[in-house]
Structure 1
Amino acid sequence: MTHDNLSDMLTRIRNANAVGMQTVSFPTTRINRQIAHLLETEGFIDSFRDYPAGSLMLQLKYKGKKPSLTSLRRISKPGRQVYVNHKDVPKVLGGMGIAILSTSQGIVTDRVARSRRLGGEILCYIW
């Protein structure tokens, strides 16, 4: 049986947003660290910190009492991967959200994938 670390990360963030927590913590993996960096770069979270004990902590961002992350949706799952070429990279909410892709050049957002003409596996949608 495999454990889906990315789904676990997205669920923990979703649950923390639902109850208004300021921080959320989960185990560190390479993919989780790269996605946390993308979330910080895109302005969905305030910051993240990687602790030596193997945990990653995100500082969530709120606008008043509303969270910046309103929805996180896992697209590719362990039993069903979804791949696209560079022409079919989706725009999430007409460009208001982001799609995170795993490409041959690393984990990137949909905008970067389109500009570099990269296709790959769609990991999740965030808006």
Structure 2
Amino acid sequence: KENVNMPYSGLKENICEILKREGFIEDYSIENADAVSTKNINIKLAYHESKKPTVIDIKTTSTPVIRFYKKAKDIRAYKNGLGIEIFSTSSGILSDVECKEKKVGGLSLLKVF
């Protein structure tokens, strides 16, 4: 599967931007940008040269009932730096590396490997 479509939200757009920057997806676009109620995000998935997908596993860490917060000093590299953890912080949606650089902690949203 090369493309995935999903309903639009600002949070999903920020997560897609991080995944694109980190090389987990090739690109994303917002479709029907003129109509507010029917916006969709179209994600073009990235593959290695051997035709294997770059995203192997996505795990949501926090739920509406159970929330996992981490301080900046407690953030570690996920899967020895091969994966990323995405946080919702006071500075916006950031990857684990960006959180360490800016020295901010936050709510752990998901882990991508």
TM-score by length of structure 1 reads 0.82
Q: Which runs of 4+ in 1 moved over 6 A?
A: none
**Deviation of 1:90 (Å):** 2.7
- 2:16 corresponds in structure 1 to 36
Determine if the alignment matches structure 1 residue 54 to structure 2 residue 39.
yes
Structure 1, unaligned runs of 5 or more: 1-20
Residue in structure 1 matching 2:58, options 55, 72, 89: 72
What root-mean-square deviation, in Å, do the aligned CA atoms of Structure 1 and Structure 2 show? Answer: 0.8
TM-score (norm 2): 0.92
User: 1: CA distance between counterparts of 2:84 and 2:64?
Assistant: 21
Structure (1/2) with the larger helix percentage:
1
Q: Superposition pairs for residues 75-90 of structure 1, below 5 Å?
A: 75-90=61-76
CA contact (8 A) 1:46 1:60 kept: yes
Q: Deviations over 1:65-115 (max 9, x none)?
A: 210000100000111010011111132111111000000000000000001
Whether the 8 Å CA contact 1:90–1:99 is kept in 2: the answer is no
**Matched-pair identity in %:** 29
Residue of structure 2 equivalent to 1:126: 112
Number of residue equivalences: 107
Q: Following superposition of structure 1 onto structure 2, how do residues 2-21 of structure 1 map, counting pairs within 5 Å?
A: 21=1
Distance 2:17 2:72 in 1: 23
Kept in 2: contact 1:113–1:119 (CA 8 A): yes
